[in-house]
Structure formats: C-alpha cells, structure tokens
C-alpha cells in the first residue's frame, strides 16, 4: 500500500480534457517528480491532490484513508507554491505559525483581543513558538523570523515557504515549481537542499516541475506527463535510457535526442546511410519508424575510420563538451553529437568525419510514438 | 545652474496651473474672507479680500449659538461612520466571493453590479422614502444611512483590487486550515488597506457633503447632518447674516480639509489606485 496515491484521475473543462485517467503513487518517504511541458496538466493534478481543485473521476488516498472528498485543511497536506504565497502582512515567524495556530488553537483562542483571556492559549502559543523556532533553525532562517516577506530575498522567502509547509508535519508534501523563481545558481544549490530536507523529514513528496534536469536529478521516480496523460512513470535512469514513448525521449535529455525517420528492411534491420544500425525490429518489412539516438551515444571519429560518413555543419562549444551538428547524406535533420573538445581540436564546419553509433544506442519508435518491440535475442549494430 | 528665462515653457505651465488653482479656490477663499467680516462690511459697496474689522470670533460664536453645531457635527460623524462600516462589511465579502470563488451566479452578479453603478440615488429616492415612511423610520440615523449600506461602487472597487491578489495566497490559506470567512478576515482585509482607504475617502466625502438625501428624510435639527443644518440655519435664523453662515460653513468643511491634510499621501495613493486599477 502506498503512502499517497492518486488513482484514475480525470478532469475536463467543457470539451477540454485536462487530465485523462492519471494514476500516480508515492511510497513512504519517496520523492516523485511530475514533469512535462506547460499545459500538460501537472499543476492541475497537484491542485487536485491538495484538494484545491476536484477531479471529475478518480480517488485520492493517503495510506488506507480515502481523502477524495475531504476539505484541503483536513487532508494534512502541505504545499509550497511557485510564488511562495507568503502572507505579506505577517512576519516570517507569524507566517510559519499560521498552519499550527489554525490547527492547535480554538476559534475563541484565535480572537484578536478576547483570545488573550481564553484558558490554555498561553501554553498552546508557547508550544507553537517553540515548533516554529525549531523548524526555522533547521532551515537556517531563525535570524529572519521578525522580517516581513517584502524585506526578504527570493531565496529567503522560499525557505520561509518551506518552513511553513514543514512545520505542520504533513502526510504528504506538494511542491509546485518551487525553484523556478530563483536565479540559476541558487536553483542548483536549493535543489540539493530540498532533496536533503526531504530525506530528513521522510515525508512522501510530489514535486511538479517543467525542468527535466530538475526532475531527473532530484526524484526517486519521475512521471512524464503530456497532454493530460502520464506517458511514463519510472526511475530517472529508465526514463532516460528506456523511454516508452518518443515524446518522453524527446522531452528528457539535453541536448535533445536525435530523431531520424527510417524504414525497416529485411530481418527488421534499420539502415542509415548504407550501414545497419539496428536489427530485430518487429513488424513487416517497409514499416516507417523513427530512430532515436542520444547525442552522447554517437562517437566522432576521423574521416578515414569505419562507420557512417558525415560532414560537420555547426560546432557549439560549451566548455567541458562540444555539441557537433553533423549532416549525414540522405537524412533531413542534422545529427547532434556530444563530443569532448579534444575530439574536434583540428576540425571546423564543413570537415568530413565518421560517426560510430554505440551498440544498443538506437531506440526504435513506431508511427504511433510507442516503442517498437524488438525480436529477442537482439543482435544490434553489426557494422556501424 | 542654468538660469530659467522668465517666459519659458515651465513658467508658462506654472502660470496656467496657478490661475486654474486660484479659480477653483476662489469661492473657498471668499468664504473664509466673508466669515471674518462684520455684517456691515459684507454689504458695503467696496470689495475687499481682507476684512477691515475682524469679526471671525463673533461670527463663529453666532454659528455655534444659533444652531446646535456640536449636534450637527456629531450627526455627520455617526451617519458617515455607520454608512462606511456597513458598506465595508457588506462589500468586502461580496467582492471577495465575486473575485475569487467560482459559482454559477458570478456572471449575473457582475452584470447586476454594473447596472447598479448606473442607477443614481435620485431614481430610487421616492420608493425608499415611501417605505421608510410606512415603517415610521423617517427622522432617524437609520433613514439617513440604510439606503447606502450596499455600495455597488465599493463592491466594484474592491473587486478590482481583489482580482489582482494572487490566487496562490488564497490557496495557501485554505491549505493552512482557514475557512472562507477567516480568509477574508485574516488574509484579504489586512492586505486591502489601500483599497479600504481609497473607498473611505470616497464614501465619507460623499456622505458628509450629501444634502439631497438628508433633505428628504429629515425634518428637524436633532438628526440633521451638517449640510442640512446649514440649510436650516440659512432659512430660519440667519436671513441675511452671511458672516455667521460662512463661519458655519467653515466649521463643517474644516473636518474634511483637516482629514485631507493629515492623510494627504494616502489620499493621493487611494485616488491613483482607483485610477489605475479601476
């Protein structure tokens, strides 16, 4: 039984289908990333998980308790928003204390002036203050407690928002692109901090992002969403190396995966510029397929080497690596190769080179976008 | 520093603006001047701005002795406070619901608010008067204030302001365990002070100065608002004593002027706010 589960959630606005039978579950202490392009429904799914929105069908479970119809406040979920959503009129301390005050104090005790005379308020408030301080200290924001959000930097606000979510010890953590408003440096730094925080708290976390590198680097499992569907829900390594759908392959990885249109030959072989690059593709001969190859799985060799002949059309120097766009006769788009600077020391645009494609590097997708099954045992890349 | 020639564009602009300001201020200045003049001087053929014999204190004393000035000011204060209090209490939750909650009647309500903005009090005055008469509520604070408790202008103003508030803030409040009423009290209102201030200015100025409605529902001085009190004063007592009348006018305009001077910055912020976001 999973700690938190969304089961068969569908949602549409009029004829517009936003979510289509989506199921996601998080085990105890698991970090799940929902990743996809904007408009794929990932934020809607998160809002449904929080109870801010409601699905047309489907159910939401926390352990063995169904919470589909339960009010957001009673679900014991915490959410960190992209805009942080701190109360502008309250100090950091008061902001962090709000969820505790709403839960631990009675309506009477919360009254602005009269509350002071209700019994038990002082003890409850002392407890809250202590919890706020502990949480703030663990996030290293205890020195900011009497500042208002307007007097803090983006990174500090983000920590206060995290503290507010953390302090109530929720059953599940929901995060909606919490890093997208930070500058690039801080983002990478905070990534590690959030992962660390998650490990310490041990609370299942659902993290929405449009940044595939964020998803791959932070999550235990990644759900790639597109057009209101989960295309693949798997470990980061499987998402990257073994995509089930061509859209997943295209979305994940930078630079983007190379896609080549091809047709199967005898024995299910795929031939690129006269060389067989894959074998054992199922289906009749002449089936149009799409060949996908990661840029780092292609090796750049001198023109005299054995392999696929190509010419360099563009070089992009990135410091530790170079992206080389190469043109292979008979293909439409350039093939991008990730090379080390040493490989291209003496090369310039227009120079002839040879490409060698790694064994098992070719991912074959059918016209419907799904992976084409391979005949086993597969013998691949005989002479490439 | 570069010397600015006498007939520069800048000086021309200043001259035009000063002339305009003088034109608009002239009646008020004349009122102050008259309030300080004796009766003989007001009706003398020579026009002077500065009085030859200062009679300001006498006129003020007359104004205070001939009409219950304290009562008038108190009535004005009570009526304005009542109106403003209920307007805010009704308009804020209403505007919040229309701006941030999704419900079926939202569109219809918006249309009704727009329609309400188009209907002046003069159109509904008669039926309201008849109703108040039927329930025997004329000549009361209630009659003075109740027709203004629901301010569509207020709803509209707050609506525009609340729309600009981030949805995430309200979502966060809901997750933190607040009811909708608590969201209004603890999140919306504390962050809506600029809008409340702006609305307070419009509401208080309008109802402090209003003569039309008090004239309809009030017949005696004991519930009269300041402008109505002035009217009684002129009709019954002063006759041709313009010095005392102007002194009384000075007294009733003074609270608003003082309030404006004290809250000048907020006042301008408020006006800008409605200009930009309205």
Q: Are residues A206 and A264 in the same domain?
A: no
Residue A202 C-alpha from the chain's centroid: 19
To the nearest whole Å, the CA of B195 is away from the closest chain A CA by 15
Domain hosting A225: range is 4-246
Q: Are residues A171 and A267 in the same domain?
A: no
With respect to residue A252, please indicate whether it lies within any of the assigned structural domains: no
Q: Output the domain CATH number for residue A82.
A: 3.40.50.300
Residue A355: strand pairing partners: A300, A308
Backbone angles phi, psi at A77, to 5 degrees: -110, 150
Q: Are residues A188 and A272 in the same domain?
A: no
Q: Does B181 touch chain A (CB under 8 A)?
A: no
Contacts of B168 in chain A (CB under 8 A): 81-85
Long-range contact pairs involving B132-140 (C-beta distance under 8 Å, separation at least 24): B132/B217, B138/B217, B138/B218, B138/B219, B139/B217, B139/B218, B139/B219, B139/B220, B139/B223, B140/B223
With respect to residue A189, please indicate whether it lies within any of the assigned structural domains: yes
Whole-number Cα distances in Å, B160 to A128, A133, B116, B168, B272: 36, 38, 16, 17, 13
pLDDT in tens, chain B (278 residues): 566 677 788 889 999 999 999 999 999 998 888 888 887 787 777 777 787 778 888 888 888 887 788 899 999 999 999 999 999 999 999 999 999 998 888 889 999 999 999 998 889 999 999 999 999 999 999 999 999 999 999 999 999 889 988 999 999 999 988 889 999 999 999 888 888 888 888 899 899 999 999 999 998 888 999 999 888 877 665 567 788 888 888 988 988 888 888 877 776 766 665 544 33
- In the predicted model, is pLDDT for residue A378 greater than 60? no
With respect to residue A374, please indicate whether it lies within any of the assigned structural domains: no
Does ipTM top 0.85?
no
Distance between CA atoms of residues A366 and B156, nearest Å: 56
Q: Is A183 exposed, middle or buried (0-12, 13-18, 19+ CB in 10 A)?
A: exposed
Q: Are residues A109 and A166 in the same domain?
A: yes
With respect to residue A330, please indicate whether it lies within any of the assigned structural domains: yes
Asked if A50 and B177 come within 8 Å (Cβ–Cβ), the reply is no
Residue by residue, DSSP assigns B200-222 as HHHHHHHHHH--HHHHHH--SGG
Q: Are residues A184 and A280 in the same domain?
A: no
Which residue, of A246, A275, A306, is where some domain finishes? A246
Cβ(A353)–Cβ(A329) under 8 Å? no
Share the mean pLDDT of chain A. 88
With respect to residue A378, please indicate whether it lies within any of the assigned structural domains: no
Residue by residue, DSSP assigns A266-295 as GGG-EEETTEEEE--B-S-TT-EEEEEE-G
Contacts of A164 in chain B (CB under 8 A): 172, 176
Distance between CA atoms of residues A175 and A78, nearest Å: 8
CA nearest to B102 within chain A: A53
Rg (CA), chain A: 26
Q: Does B166 touch chain A (CB under 8 A)?
A: yes
Largest CA distance in chain B: 76
Residue B171 C-alpha from the chain's centroid: 36
With respect to residue A381, please indicate whether it lies within any of the assigned structural domains: no
Query: What are the tens digits of pLDDT across the range A92-148?
Result: 999 999 999 888 887 777 776 666 677 777 888 888 999 999 989 888 888 999 999
With respect to residue A377, please indicate whether it lies within any of the assigned structural domains: no
Distance between CA atoms of residues A284 and A275, nearest Å: 20
- In this prediction, residues A337-348 reach a mean pLDDT of 84
Q: Please give the angle made by the CA atoms of A99, B155 and B201, to the nearest 5 degrees.
A: 100
DSSP β-ladder status, A4-13 and A57-62: antiparallel
Distance between CA atoms of residues A176 and B215, nearest Å: 59
Backbone angles phi, psi at B50, to 5 degrees: -90, 130
pLDDT value of residue A276: 83
Q: Are residues A227 and A276 in the same domain?
A: no
Residue A32: strand pairing partners: A206, A221
Q: Are residues A239 and A166 in the same domain?
A: yes
Q: Are residues A264 and A234 in the same domain?
A: no
Cβ(A174)–Cβ(A4) under 8 Å? no
Query: What are the tens digits of pLDDT across the range A205-235?
Result: 999 999 999 999 999 999 999 999 999 999 9
- In the predicted model, is pLDDT for residue A169 greater than 90? no
Cβ(A185)–Cβ(A195) under 8 Å? no
Distance between CA atoms of residues A95 and A237, nearest Å: 39
Residue by residue, DSSP assigns B37-80 as S-HHHHTSSS--SS-SS--HHHHHHHHHHHTTHHHHHHHHHHHH
Cβ(B201)–Cβ(B220) under 8 Å? no
Q: Are residues A241 and A267 in the same domain?
A: no
Pick from A52, A88, A102: CB nearest B178 = A102
Q: Could you tell me the domains of chain B? A: 9-62 (no CATH), 67-277 (1.10.3720.10)
Contacts of A74 in chain B (CB under 8 A): 177
Which residue, of A219, A246, A273, is where some domain finishes? A246
Q: Into how many domains does chain A fold?
A: 2
Cβ(A213)–Cβ(A187) under 8 Å? no
Q: Are residues A171 and A85 in the same domain?
A: yes
Q: Are residues A280 and A203 in the same domain?
A: no
Q: Output the domain CATH number for residue A290.
A: 2.40.50.140
Which residue, of A210, A225, A246, is where some domain finishes? A246
Contacts of B169 in chain A (CB under 8 A): 83, 85, 87
Asked if B191 and A72 come within 8 Å (Cβ–Cβ), the reply is no
With respect to residue A371, please indicate whether it lies within any of the assigned structural domains: no
Query: What are the tens digits of pLDDT across the range A270-309?
Result: 888 888 888 888 888 888 899 999 999 999 888 888 888 8
Q: Does A106 touch chain B (CB under 8 A)?
A: no
Q: Are residues A237 and A277 in the same domain?
A: no
């Amino acid at each position: 039984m999973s700690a938190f589960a969304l089961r068969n959630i569908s949602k549409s606005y009029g004829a517009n289908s936003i979510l289509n039978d989506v199921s996601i579950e998080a085990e105890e202490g698991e970090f799940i990333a929902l990743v996809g392009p904007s408009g794929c429904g990932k934020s809607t799914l998160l809002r449904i998980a929080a109870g801010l929105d409601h699905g047309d069908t489907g159910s939401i479970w926390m352990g063995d308790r169904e919470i589909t119809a339960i009010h957001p406040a009673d679900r014991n979920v915490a959410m960190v928003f992209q805009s942080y959503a701190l109360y502008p009129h309250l100090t950091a301390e008061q902001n962090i204390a709000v969820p505790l005050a709403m839960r631990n104090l009675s309506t009477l005790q919360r009254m602005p002036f009269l509350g002071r005379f209700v019994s038990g308020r002082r003890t409850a408030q002392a407890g809250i203050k202590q919890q706020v301080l502990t949480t703030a200290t663990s996030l290293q924001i205890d020195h900011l407690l009497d500042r208002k959000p307007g007097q803090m930097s983006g990174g500090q606000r983000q920590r206060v928002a995290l503290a507010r979510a953390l302090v109530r010890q929720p059953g599940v953590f929901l995060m909606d692109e919490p890093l997208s408003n930070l500058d690039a440096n801080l983002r990478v730094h905070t990534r590690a901090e959030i992962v660390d925080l998650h490990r310490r708290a041990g609370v299942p976390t659902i993290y929405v992002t449009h940044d595939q590198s964020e998803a791959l680097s932070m999550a235990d499992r990644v759900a790639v969403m597109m057009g209101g569907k989960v295309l693949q829900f798997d470990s980061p390594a499987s998402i990257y190396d073994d995509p089930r759908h061509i859209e997943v392959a295209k979305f994940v990885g930078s630079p983007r995966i190379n896609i080549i249109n091809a047709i199967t030959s005898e024995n299910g072989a795929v031939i690129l510029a006269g060389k067989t690059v894959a074998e054992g593709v199922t289906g009749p001969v002449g089936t149009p397929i799409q060949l996908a190859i990661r840029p780092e799985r292609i090796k750049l060799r001198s023109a005299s080497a054995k392999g696929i002949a190509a010419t360099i059309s563009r070089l992009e120097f990135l410091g530790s690596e170079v992206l080389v766009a190469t043109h292979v006769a008979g293909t439409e788009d350039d093939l991008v190769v990730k090379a080390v600077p040493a490989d291209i020391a003496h090369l310039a645009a227009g120079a002839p080179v040879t490409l060698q494609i790694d064994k098992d590097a070719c991912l074959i997708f059918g016209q419907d976008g799904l992976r084409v099954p391979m005949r086993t045992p597969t013998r691949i890349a005989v002479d490439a | 520093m570069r010397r600015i020639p006498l007939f520069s564009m800048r000086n021309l602009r200043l001259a035009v603006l000063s002339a305009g300001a003088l034109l608009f201020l002239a009646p008020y200045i004349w009122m102050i001047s008259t309030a300080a003049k004796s009766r003989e001087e007001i009706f003398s053929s020579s026009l002077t701005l500065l009085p030859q014999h200062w009679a300001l204190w006498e006129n003020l004393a007359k104004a205070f002795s001939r009409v219950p000035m304290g009562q008038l000011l108190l009535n004005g204060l009570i009526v304005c406070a009542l109106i403003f209090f209920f307007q805010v209490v009704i308009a804020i939750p209403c505007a919040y619901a229309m701006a941030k909650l999704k419900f079926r009647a939202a569109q219809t309500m918006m249309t009704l608010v727009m329609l309400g903005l188009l209907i002046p009090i003069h159109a509904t005055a008669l039926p309201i008067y008849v109703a108040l008469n039927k329930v025997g509520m004329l000549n009361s604070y209630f009659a003075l204030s109740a027709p203004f408790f629901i301010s569509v202008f207020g709803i509209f103003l707050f609506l525009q302001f609340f729309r600009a508030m981030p949805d995430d803030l309200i979502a966060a409040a809901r997750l933190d365990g607040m009811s909708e009423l608590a969201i209004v009290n603890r999140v919306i209102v504390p962050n809506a002070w600029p809008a409340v201030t702006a609305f307070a200015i419009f509401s208080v100025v309008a109802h402090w100065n209003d003569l039309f409605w008090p004239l309809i529902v009030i017949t005696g001085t004991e519930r009269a608002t300041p402008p109505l009190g002035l009217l009684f004063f002129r009709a019954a007592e002063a006759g041709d004593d313009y010095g005392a009348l102007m002194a009384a006018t000075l007294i009733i305009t003074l609270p608003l002027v003082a309030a404006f001077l004290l809250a000048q910055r907020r006042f301008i912020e408020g006006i800008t706010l409605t200009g930009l976001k309205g």
